[in-house]
Amino acid sequence: MKYKGFIWDLGGTLFDTYPGMVFAFKKALLDYNIAEKDINILEKIRISKKTGIEYFKKKYNLKNEFIKNVELYEKKINLKDRPPFPYIIEVLKYINENGGKNFIFTHRNKESVFQLLNFYDLKKYFFEIKSIEDGLKRKPNKEGYEYFKKKYNLKWIAIGDREIDIQAGINCKIDTVYFNIFGEKNILAKYSIKHFKEFYRILNDL
C-alpha cells in the first residue's frame, strides 16, 4: 500500500450519523414550533454541527436551551440507527492486514465515540483515537492530524466527509480523501469517493 497511516473522521465518514443528527435538530426546532425542512438542516450540519447550531440560533433568535435540546435528542438516537457505511469494516480490516494503521480524530466526546465503536465491534481496528477532549484544536486546524504525524513515522492520508476535514489535511501537508455519499467533488482533496468500494484503488495506488 502507498499509505501506512490513515486518519479517519468519525460521524459522516465511518458511521452514517446524518439521519440521526437531522432528527435531533428537527425535534429541537419543533420544541419552538419551528418546522424546518430536512434538506435545510442537512445543508448546515454537513459543514459542521457547530455551524448548524449557530445558524439556527441566529436565524430564529434561539437561546442556549436549543443547544441542550439538540444534544438531548442526539443522545436518544439508538446506536443501531448510526450504522457503519457499507464496506467500511472490510476497508479497515484490509488496511490492518496489509501493514497499515488506522487512527481517529474527531470533534465528538470520547464517550460517544467508544459507544459507537464498541457497539459495532470496530475499536479493535484502530491504533489510537483522539478527540478535542484531549486538548487538540478543532478542524480545520491541523493540530489533531499533526499529533499523529509527529508521533508516528508513517506515510499519511486523512479521510473525511466535510471541507474542514480536507482543509485540516492540507494544513498538515498530508494527502486527503473526500468521502461524499451525495456524489459531490472537493477540488482541494487528492481523491474523492462516494462509496468505500472505491477506496481500494487508493490503497493500491490505481
List the domains of the chain with CATH numbers. 5-16+82-203 (3.40.50.1000), 18-78 (1.10.150)
Instruction: Pull the grid cell for residue 96.
Output: 490492518
Q: State residue 205's pLDDT score.
A: 76
Which of 62-71, 96-105, 123-132, 179-188 has the weakest average pLDDT?
Answer: 179-188
How do 175-179 and 101-106 pair as beta strands?
unpaired
Between 73 and 47, the higher pLDDT residue: 73
**Contact yes or no for 50/70 (Cβ under 8 A):** no
**Contact yes or no for 3/155 (Cβ under 8 A):** yes
User: What is the per-residue pLDDT across 115-174, written as a single tens digit (0 to 9) for each?
Assistant: 999 999 999 999 999 999 999 999 999 999 999 999 999 999 999 999 999 999 999 999
Counting Cα atoms < 13 Å in the Cβ hemisphere of 85 gives 27
Q: Give the pLDDT band of residue 180 (cuts 50, 70, 90).
A: confident
State CA 141 to chain mean position distance: 15
Query: pTM (2 decimals)?
Result: 0.90
